[in-house]
């Protein structure tokens, strides 16, 4: 039963990230779109939904079974994004064309670039999630502030978020998610997100003497 609940929670998280991605695609102003994208992560954090990029940093602190949970979450996230991508692409062809142009640009990156950009995004998402979930005595405003700064930061810098990219590729009129290059791209970004979050989390723990998540 827990597996089923986790899967549905991950699907919901994928849907929420897709809402953020949809707003970004529809926004003429990139800054406004990046800020509104934060809605997705905020709802996920408030509801405790399972997001792959919010869980990867703690890989080394958990038992091997945690890897299976991460895979389940990743699958749920992509299912949510695929569903939303199909819906948005059907209902808003203009957004599908915008998504196509965005995906075509992403696919011009080299694998190394994609991996690095994914790692940098992984660090920022980790910081947003970890700070939001930290000591309960931290007032609400700083917790929301870090979400509404880290998320726009990775978007405006052009860093790559695997779950958001799943939505863009699924919404694309070229159906880029279902091509060989699209699949390789998503796997590279996913790996980058994981590597960046895990490395930064553990270096941060060592350097600052942090003993808990």
Mind spelling out the 3-state secondary structure of 119-184? HHHHHHHHHHHHHHCCCCCCCHHHHHHHHHHHHHHHHHCCCCCHHHHHHHHHHCCCCHHHCHHHHH
The predicted pLDDT at position 209 comes to 77
**What are the Cα distances from residue 64, in Å, to 171, 193, 194?**
34, 19, 15
Instruction: Output the pLDDT for position 166.
Output: 95
pTM: 0.92
- Structure confidence by residue, pLDDT tens digits, 80-117: 999 999 999 999 999 999 999 999 999 999 999 999 99
Class level of CATH domain 2-208: mainly alpha
Tokens of 59: 């890989």
Please give the pLDDT value at position 167: 96
CA-wise closest residue to 197 among 17, 50, 74, 58: 58
The reported pLDDT for the residue numbered 192 is 98
Residues of the chain with pLDDT below 50 are 213
Residue 118 pLDDT:
98
Can you give the residue ranges of every domain in the chain? 2-208
């Amino acid at each position: 039963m827990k597996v089923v609940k986790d899967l549905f929670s991950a699907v919901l998280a994928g849907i929420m990230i897709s809402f953020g991605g949809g707003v970004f695609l529809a926004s003429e102003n990139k800054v406004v779109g990046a800020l509104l994208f934060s809605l997705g992560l905020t709802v996920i954090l408030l509801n405790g939904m399972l997001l792959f990029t919010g869980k990867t940093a703690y890989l080394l602190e958990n038992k091997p079974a945690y890897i299976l949970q991460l895979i389940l979450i990743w699958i749920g996230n992509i299912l949510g994004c695929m569903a939303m991508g199909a819906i948005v692409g059907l209902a808003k062809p203009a957004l599908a064309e915008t998504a196509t142009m965005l995906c075509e640009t992403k696919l011009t990156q080299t694998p190394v670039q994609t991996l690095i950009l994914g790692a940098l995004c992984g660090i920022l998402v980790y910081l947003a999630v970890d700070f939001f979930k930290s000591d309960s005595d931290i007032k609400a405003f700083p917790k929301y502030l870090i979400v509404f700064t880290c998320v726009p930061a990775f978007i405006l810098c052009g860093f790559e978020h695997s779950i958001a990219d799943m939505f863009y590729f699924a919404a694309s009129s070229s159906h880029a998610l279902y091509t060989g290059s699209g699949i390789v791209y998503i796997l590279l970004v996913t790996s980058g997100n994981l590597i960046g979050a895990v490395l930064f989390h553990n270096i941060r723990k060592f350097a600052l003497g942090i003993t808990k998540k």
